[in-house]
Structure formats: C-alpha cells, structure tokens
Amino acid sequence: MGTEIERKFLVDTLLWRPADAGTRITQGYLCSEKGRTVRIRIFGDEARLTVKGATDGISRAEYEYPIPAADAREILERLCERPFIDKTRYLAAFAGRTWEVDVFHGDNEGLVMAEIELDSADATVELPPWAWKEVSDDPRYFNSKLAKRPFSTWSRDGAGAAPA
C-alpha cells in the first residue's frame, strides 16, 4: 500500500522567497468526499491521477499514477468539480530535506503553504525559519477542501494569515 506521510505549515512570506520560477499546477477533483479523494494534476508537461484515503494523523493511503497530459486536460474540463486548485510549487532545501512550498492563486490567493514528506510519522524535522504555523491537523488546508471552500471566503481572524 502507498502511504503519504506529510506535515503542513503556513509560510511567513516575510522570511521566505522563491529561489526559481517554480512550476504552475492545476488540479481538479473527480471525488472529494470524507475519507477519499481522486484528483487530476497537471504540472508542466506532466500529469498524474492520485487516489488518497482517509487521514490518520499525518498519514494516509496514497496511490499516484502518471497519465497523458492531453487526457488530464480533458478530464479536468469534462469531469472534475469546480473550481480548480491553481498554485505554483517551489522546492526549498533546508537541513538536508526538500520542502514543497505552494503559492496559491485565484480564489486561494494569499495562501502560502509548505509541506514536508516524511518516512515515518514520528520522524524529527528541523523547521526552516519561514515555517510559521503547523496546520497538518486542520482539514481546511487540504487542497480538496480549498477547492470547495477557498481561502478567500475565510474570515481573517488569524486562521490563515501569516504574520505581518
């Protein structure tokens, strides 16, 4: 069984800056119900179909398969729920690990989140100075939830805004 183990953090954008142009990602959901999601993701000239199970702490079942980009575009347009997730992904090296930093666009503009994939749920991680607030256990920050209830619709009570 494929397993994804990751921790998520909001990013303090005063302390983090991209090192390159990043990769634009468009993703849509064929299914985004509690306990399972099926998504299509296009990034650059590549595309993937991903099936994820229910979250258990910071772990969940995950199966990911490459698919032709033309098929992915057609599935996005014809079959996926709206709106899509639109973001640019940057890779950031810190303390021997590679972090994925996502800068969201569209209805999720203003949200910048970093993820680190781990080999085990109890792995020790040295946090970069720009990893502001952990949101691993907050389902509002799952991409499947952001597609249904975008960041722009949240009240600005400190729940998602990085420190100024």
Is position 29 annotated as part of the catalytic site? yes
User: 82, 105, 78, 104: which is closest to 32 by C-alpha?
Assistant: 82
Catalytic residue among 29, 63, 90, 141: 29
Burial class (CB in 10 A: 0-12, 13-18, 19+), 81: middle
How far from 113 is each of 89, 92, 146, 160, CA to CA, in Å?
A: 10, 12, 12, 10
Residues in CB range of 64: below 8 A, 6 or more apart: 2, 48, 49, 50, 51
> What is the set of active-site residues?
29
